[in-house]
Amino acid sequence: MLPKPSSPNLNLVNISEIVLAVCLAAALGVILSLLIAMKRRTSANEAAIEQNSSDSALELLGILSLTALVITPNNQVLRATPGAIALGLVKNRELAQDELRALVQSASQTSSVETLEADVAVGLGADKTLLHARAVQLSDSNVLMVVEDNTESKRLDDTRRDFIANISHELKTPIGAISLLAEALVDASDDPDAVQKFSKSLRKESKRLTNLIKDVVQLSRIQSAEVVANAEVVDLSTVVMEALDRNSYRAEARNVKITYDAPEGLEVIGDPEMLTVAVKNLIENAILYSEEGAPVGVGLRKVENVAEIAVTDSGLGIPQEDQARIFERFYRVDPSRSRATGGTGLGLAIVKHV
C-alpha cells in the first residue's frame, strides 16, 4: 500500500514560517548592529565632549593667567598651563610635589573641592614657595587643579604688619616726649630757665616727629604709581647740586667739607624730586655718621648705560653682619646714636625704593 502524498498547503506553511524566521533574525541582527554602533558613537561623543570640556576649562584658566593642570587619578599630568610648567609643578609628565599628589588623591575620592595651603619646595631653589591649591574631580574621573603662588603676597603682608608695628613704636617716642615736656612747661611757668630748656627740647621732639611723618609720606609715595606718573628727563648734576644745597646747613654745623666731582649733561628718566630726596638722604647719612670735620665725597659717572652716584665718607663703617639690613625700614646699626642724630630710620629705605 503506497503512502499518501504530503499536503501542498502544509509545505507552503512550513516554507513561509522559515522565510519569516530568517527575515526576523536578519532584521534583529541589523537592529542590534545599529544599536551597538549608536552606543559606540554616543560613548565616543561623550568622551570627546568631556575631553573638549577639560581643554576648554584649561584654556580659559590660562587666559585668566591662572596656573592650572588636569591630572589623572594616578598623578599623570595630561595638560598644564605655561604657568604650571614655569612654577616647576610638572616633572616627567607627573606632579613633582608630594603635597599636590596627596591633594589629587583626596579630590579623586570625593565630589567636593579639596584645598591645600602649604610651603612647598618647587624647582631647584632651597627656599620654599607658599602654594594655595584647589582640586576637583571632573566627569571623566580626572582632576582639575588650580594653584596660586602666595609667597610674594605673604611677604608683603608681613612687611606691612612689621611696618605698622614699627611706625607705632617710633611714634610713641616723640609723642610721649612732647606730652611730658608740655606738662613740664606748665609746671615750670615761673622758672624762665626751665621754660627755655623745656621749650628747646620740645622743638627738638616736634622736629623729630615732623621728619618721621615726612619720611613716611615720602616712602608711601615712592611705593605708589605717582613716581612713574611724574617721570621726566632729569639732569643728574642738577639733582646732586640740589641735594648738596639741602644738606649745606648740616655740613656747616658739623664742619664737614663735601667734595663733588661729576660730568655735565648726564641724564636719566625719573621723578626729579624723588631722585633728589634719595641723593639728599645718602649725603645726610654720610654727614651724620662721620666724625666732625671729616670729609665727604660725592661722585657721579656713567658706567656703560647706567648712571652711578657714589657717596663716600670716613665714618666708623658698618659691621659685616649689619650690611645686608641697612636699607630696611627703621633698622639702625646703633640705635642710640641714630636717635642722637635725629634720624628716623627711613632714610636709606627711601633710597632703596627710589
Residues 229 and 145 in one domain: no
Q: Is residue 184 part of a domain?
A: no
**DSSP states of 202-257:** HHHHHHHHHHHHHHHHHHHHHTSTHHHHT-EEEEHHHHHHHHHHHTHHHHHHTT--
Q: Is residue 256 part of a domain?
A: yes
Q: What phi, psi does 310 have (nearest 5°)? A: -120, 135
Q: Which pTM was predicted?
A: 0.49
Instruction: Output the pLDDT for position 44.
Output: 42
The position carrying cell 614657595 is 129
- Please give the average per-residue pLDDT across 204-229, as a whole number: 71
Assigned C-alpha cell, 245: 644745597
Q: Is 71 left (phi over 0), alpha (psi -120 to 50) or beta?
A: beta
Pick from 131, 149, 167: which residue ends a domain? Answer: 149
- Write the CATH number for 249: 3.30.565.10
Instruction: Give percent of the chain with pLDDT exceeding 90.
Output: 0
- Please give the average per-residue pLDDT across 55-73, as a whole number: 71
Domain count across the chain: 2
Q: Is residue 239 part of a domain?
A: yes
What three-state secondary structure class fits 103? helix
Judged against a pLDDT cut of 70, whether residue 49 lies above it is answered with: no
Q: How confident is the model at residue 47 (pLDDT cuts 50, 70, 90)?
A: very low
- Report the half-sphere exposure of 75 (CA within 13 A, side-chain side): 16
- Please give the average per-residue pLDDT across 303-325, as a whole number: 78
299: containing domain:
225-317
Q: Does residue 240 contact residue 298 with C-beta atoms inside 8 Å?
A: yes
- Write the CATH number for 143: 3.30.450.20
Q: Where are the alpha helices (DSSP H) in the chain?
A: 8-63, 82-86, 98-107, 151-187, 192-222, 226-229, 236-246, 248-253, 272-288, 335-341, 347-353
Instruction: Output the pLDDT for position 156.
Output: 76
Assigned C-alpha cell, 196: 627755655
Q: Is residue 275 part of a domain?
A: yes
Rounded to whole angstroms, the Cα distance separating 41 from 198 reads: 95
Greatest mean pLDDT among 1-10, 39-48, 148-157: 148-157
Assigned C-alpha cell, 166: 614699627
Give 262-293 pLDDT, tens digit per residue.
777 888 888 888 888 888 888 888 888 888 88
Instruction: Give percent of the chain with pLDDT exceeding 70.
Output: 69
Give 114-155 pLDDT, tens digit per residue.
888 888 887 665 578 888 899 988 877 888 888 888 888 888
Distant-in-sequence, close-in-space partners of 106: CB < 8 Å, separation ≥ 6: 114, 135
Q: Is residue 46 part of a domain?
A: no
Q: Is residue 144 part of a domain?
A: yes
Instruction: Output the pLDDT for position 342.
Output: 56
> What length does the chain have?
354
Q: Is residue 102 part of a domain?
A: yes
Question: Cα dist. 331→120, 121, 192, 252 in Å?
Answer: 30, 30, 39, 27
